[in-house]
Structures are given as structure tokens and as C-alpha cells.
Structure 1
Amino acid sequence: MQGQLPLEGMPRRLYSGTPSRLNAWLDCRRRYRFSYLDRPQPAKGPAWAHNSVGASVHNALAGWWREPYERRTPLTAAILVTNGWITEGFKDEEQSERWLARARDLVSGYVATLDPSDEPVGVERTVATRTKVIALSGRIDRLDRRGDELVVVDYKTGRRPLTQDDARSSLALAVYAIAASTVMRTPCRTVELHHLPTGEIVEWRHTDESLARHLRRAEEVATEAGAADDRYKELVAAPRGTRRGSGEPPPDVPAEIDELFAPTPGPICSWCDFRRHCPQGLAAGPERRPWDGLAE
């Protein structure tokens, strides 16, 4: 089974994934396995407060654009944040309330800079594209029309200031632009990061060549990850019956899986949802409290 090729004349199965899945492979193959292959999935750690803030803000901004034109006001934005506030991960109720107030200010201040009549082409819009290697899909925070072209808008709420390189090098944003062009049949080369804490908008305008480079990179990652996925399935399935009904894999199988999906220890391990299941991750950095990602 290992290294088995498709039958002659039969198309190779496409790797189906999202930018998040591809980036998980690039960041840490063990986390990729825990996230997308192991079933049942290993238990995650507690929710992160900074993720709760980000999700609450994104949901409120999406909801704001779905309101009738006359209700697209900063006050409506603040109400949407309050009504949809996610409380997971905070130290206590006082910290949650303090960040709710910050998030209301962030979102209401941001929408005050928008033209409520400038209707987006899409909000939380799912787009997709495929090549001979990969079937990609993803959801765009906002898709604008500027003249004869589309623009991908991605909201950011993290504490780290953004640079133009963040927009230029983002595989996800490039994939979104390619997929938006495919789905909407309209050119899309510009991607924007809207950093709500600072009010900065970081823009990058891709060329056809730079988009093609990102797509080739996605195909390369998909080829690597797809081969590992297939081998994982073989290793999990093959042992059944080989030990006379024991249902247990031979002792070398877990070792090969661990080697195939080796971890990438580093500072990011402190923030990994699956840290408790990874000895290398536990040793790579200190444990973080669920609210440590907040910029107090």
C-alpha cells in the first residue's frame, strides 16, 4: 500500500483543504495530525480569551453589514458586540467586562470610518478554487468591489502591529484572492489587513505572477500533507487483524506516525491547544494562562 500510485488513466485524488489546514502543516505537523486526522480528536486545552475577543468582533462586523442601511451606525455595532459577546477564557467577570467595553469601542470606532452605503460583494463569503492537485476553499471576512476589481478584506484584532509583509506573504489572503476571482469571475489582486486596535490598513497588490507563486506553494504543501494523510490512514487501518484480532497496532506503527508527524517545538507551543499531549511542546516553553494573549 505504501507509495501506491493511482491506476493508469485514473485521476489522482485532489487534496481538499483550507488555508488554515495548509498553515497547520507548515507550523507543526503534530498539531496538524491532532487537528485533522486523529479521531477521536485529542482533548483541547481551555479556550483562549483573545480568541473570544476576535470571534466576538468578527461576528459583530459581519452582523453590522447584514443590518438594514439605516441601522448601520456605530451604536448598532456596539449593541451587536454586547449581544454576541463570548465570555470564554477570561480570568474573571471583571476582566471580561473590561474587554467587552474595549471591543465595543474598537468596533464602533471602526465602522464610523466606513460608508454604510458601500455594500460589500460578500460578508463571511465562502469561496473556492481547484487545480489538478488541490481543491481549496475558505471564508473571507469581507469582499469589496473597487472599480472593476475585487478586494479581499481581513480583520485583525491582535496586539501585534502589522506590516506590509504580513499582507504580501499571507498564503491565506492570496488563496482568497484567487478563489474570489474564480467564483466571481472578476479580477482580484489586492488584499488588505484591517487592524482594529490601531486603525491601520495594510495593503498589498499582487501580480498574476505572485498569486501563481502562492498557488504553487499551496500545491507543494498539499502534495506533502496529502501523502502523509494517506500513509497515516494505511498505518491506522493495516494493523487490524494482523495481530489475530487484538485490534492493537504493532509497536512500530505509533513510532512511524510520530516520525511522520514530528512536532516543531518553539515559542508557539505555549499557545497550542494540544500542548498537554506533546512532551516536546511541554518542554519548549512555559504554560500560558487562557487570558495571557490579551494586551492588558
Structure 2
Amino acid sequence: MNEMLPGMPTRLFVATPTKLMTFADCKRKYRYTYLETPRPPKGPPWAHNTVGAVVHEVFADFFGRWPASRRTPDEVVAKMRSSWRSEGFRDEQQSLTWRDRATDMVLGYLRDTDPYYEPLGVERTVAFTTERASLRGRVDRIDERPARDGEGGTELAIVDYKTGRRPLTSTDARSSLAMALYVLGARRVLHRPCTRVELHHLPTNSVAAADHDDASLARHQRRAESIADDAAAAEARWHTGLTPAEADEAFPPEPGPLCGWCDFARICPQGRRVAPPRDPWSGLDDPTPQPDDTD
């Protein structure tokens, strides 16, 4: 119950999977991202994020906006070229090389796609509430497929596009908090059976899939609620007005190898000590030649 107003329901903590995982991974990054006003300056944009963003835009158009007559390789190439951005790349050569490489990945992925196929949802927001949290997120794609129980009907599958260089496995799909929350949100919003989650990895043109059951979804929900409870308590303390020392104590960093990839690495001395900030293009499996620095 609400301590301020006895008898009133407790205010729900509103969050996305990204917000929850930011708090779980590093409370200092959470503070910088969601609480500080004005927000501390981020480092430069990441080239791998540019690749992912453009690919997602093209798929959103292909599956969600274009009629079947536009779903051709030429249209895909034209869209990739018009949407391409150079943020985060080392130089123009690297940017153009990755534009062509990303285009090839998208064309390879779409090669056997029925141009008349219409997903049930594209960039669809799904949401659900528990007793303590209101959770929502945007799903890349929701497919409607024949049910696998052999009794007719259809079921939903949650599809997420991935462009990172690391190959993915069914364990990645099953352990993803975001994907499990999307399943729960899709069930609540669309009122349809849904257990299937799929990570579509473009660099290898492979699918890492898993099927949730009630027990695995319950575990993910409990985890999400636990993170939400801790984040809500931390935010409540923040809003009491903390000194800089108190804020550092309430939102400590979590130094580790991933600190070099943090948007706020340049203003976090603890993170810099364990992992120097990476170059913006370091996340790429880079096929372009490096500049010759030996002269």
C-alpha cells in the first residue's frame, strides 16, 4: 500500500526492458541516462549502432509500409543508400564499405521472403502490468504462424533483428529478458498464444530460437519485478535531493570489461581504469584496411 496515502494503490514503476537492464548492469549509467538533468554528455555515436539503426529502418519499411510491388531488391538497395548515415565510422571509406556490406546482409536475409507476407506487427508496442510495474517495449516484428500443436489455429512469434558480430544461440534467445517481456506483452495486447522468440542474426543469416513455457516466463517476470523494485527505491532516494557524494553512493558504477563500450566512459574514472574507452567503430567486424601509421 502507499505509505503517503493509506488505502491507495502503490504507484506502478514504468519501464522498458532497456531501462531495467541499464539499472541491472550499472546504476551510475542508469543515473546518467534517466535521472540527471541536464543529462551528462555522451561520447561519440557508435558505428555498429548506425548499422543496426539503418537495417531496422529498412525492415520497418519493407514489412510495415511498402506494398508488395515495392518489395524488390532495387528498392531495398535504394532505401539502404538513402537512409545511410556516417555516424561513428572511422572515415568515408569505412562508411561506404559498411553500407555495401549491410546492404548485402539485408538482401541475403530477404532473398526468400514472400513479398506478399504481412506480419501481424512491425515496430509494434506491447505492454503489460504486474502488481508493481508497468512494462512496455517495441517489438521489431510479430509473426502469425500456424500453431504447432496440430490442432489448427495460429500462434505468435516474437522476432528481433540482430546485426552484432557475435553469432547467437538458442540460449541467447531463451535468456533474453527483453524477449520474454515481449511475449508477455504480446499475449496481453493481442490476446493470442505466444511462446516463440527468435533472434534473426543478419551477419550469419541464421535464427536463434527458443520456446518459453509458463515457468520460464514467470522467472523472467520475477526478475523484471525485482529490478523494477530496486530501481524504484533508488529513484525515490534520488528525488529526496542527494549531495554528489550521496548520489555516487546510491548509484555506484559497476566496473568491468564492458565499460569501454559505455556512452559515458569518458566521464567515469572507475570505468576508465578497468577498460579505456573504445573507438566508435570498434564494434564492427571491420573488413576495411587500416590506415598505414608506419610512415
TM-score by length of 1: 0.91
- The corresponding residue for 2:203 is 197
Residues in 2 aligned to 1:30 and 1:168: alpha-carbon distance in whole angstroms = 28
Answer yes or no: is 1:30 the counterpart of 2:28. yes
Answer yes or no: is 1:152 the counterpart of 2:158. yes
Residues in 2 aligned to 1:25 and 1:93: alpha-carbon distance in whole angstroms = 36
Q: Structure 2 residue aligned with 1:58, among 48, 56, 59?
A: 56
- The corresponding residue for 1:208 is 214
Residues in 2 aligned to 1:202 and 1:158: alpha-carbon distance in whole angstroms = 13
Matches within 5 A, 1:81-160: 81-147=80-146, 148-160=154-166
Q: Structure 1 residue aligned with 2:251, among 250, 261, 271?
A: 261
Q: Shift of the alpha carbon at 1:137? A: 0.9
Q: How many aligned positions are there?
A: 277
Answer yes or no: is 1:228 the counterpart of 2:234. yes
Answer yes or no: is 1:10 the counterpart of 2:8. yes
Q: Shift of the alpha carbon at 1:132? A: 1.1
- The corresponding residue for 2:262 is 272
Q: Shift of the alpha carbon at 1:156? A: 0.2
Residues in 1 aligned to 2:163 and 2:81: alpha-carbon distance in whole angstroms = 17
Kept in 1: contact 2:105–2:202 (CA 8 A): yes
RMSD after superposition: 1.1
Q: Deviations over 1:78-124 (max 9, x none)?
A: 22111111210111111100000001101111111322222101111
Q: Secondary structure at the match of 1:234?
A: coil
Residues in 2 aligned to 1:85 and 1:26: alpha-carbon distance in whole angstroms = 33
Residues in 2 aligned to 1:284 and 1:109: alpha-carbon distance in whole angstroms = 39
Q: Shift of the alpha carbon at 1:5? A: 2.8
Q: Deviations over 1:194-249 (max 9, x none)?
A: 0000011011000012111111111111000000001001124xxxxxxxxxxxxx
AA partner of residue 222 (structure 1): A
Kept in 2: contact 1:56–1:85 (CA 8 A): yes
Kept in 2: contact 1:77–1:111 (CA 8 A): no
Q: Deviations over 1:130-170 (max 9, x none)?
A: 11100011100001001211100000000001111110100
Q: Secondary structure at the match of 2:238?
A: helix
Residues in 1 aligned to 2:109 and 2:211: alpha-carbon distance in whole angstroms = 23
- The corresponding residue for 1:250 is none
Answer yes or no: is 1:167 the counterpart of 2:173. yes
Q: Structure 2 residue aligned with 1:41, among 31, 39, 57?
A: 39
AA partner of residue 199 (structure 1): N
Q: Structure 2 residue aligned with 1:288, among 265, 278, 283?
A: 278
AA partner of residue 13 (structure 1): R
Q: Shift of the alpha carbon at 1:260? A: 1.0
Kept in 2: contact 1:191–1:204 (CA 8 A): yes
Q: Secondary structure at the match of 2:241?
A: helix
Kept in 1: contact 2:266–2:277 (CA 8 A): no
Residues in 2 aligned to 1:74 and 1:149: alpha-carbon distance in whole angstroms = 30
Residues in 1 aligned to 2:265 and 2:27: alpha-carbon distance in whole angstroms = 13
Q: Shift of the alpha carbon at 1:75? A: 2.5
Residues in 1 aligned to 2:59 and 2:182: alpha-carbon distance in whole angstroms = 19
Answer yes or no: is 1:70 the counterpart of 2:69. yes
Residues in 1 aligned to 2:85 and 2:57: alpha-carbon distance in whole angstroms = 10
Kept in 1: contact 2:169–2:209 (CA 8 A): no
AA partner of residue 19 (structure 2): R
Kept in 1: contact 2:42–2:263 (CA 8 A): yes
- The corresponding residue for 2:291 is none
- The corresponding residue for 1:242 is none
AA partner of residue 273 (structure 2): A
Q: Secondary structure at the match of 2:197?
A: strand
TM-score by length of 2: 0.92
Segments of 4+ moved more than 3 angstroms: none
Q: Secondary structure at the match of 1:115?
A: coil
Mark the runs of 5 or more structure 2 residues left unpaired by the alignment. 147-153, 287-295
Q: Shift of the alpha carbon at 1:262? A: 0.6
Q: Secondary structure at the match of 1:235?
A: coil
Q: Shift of the alpha carbon at 1:7? A: 2.5
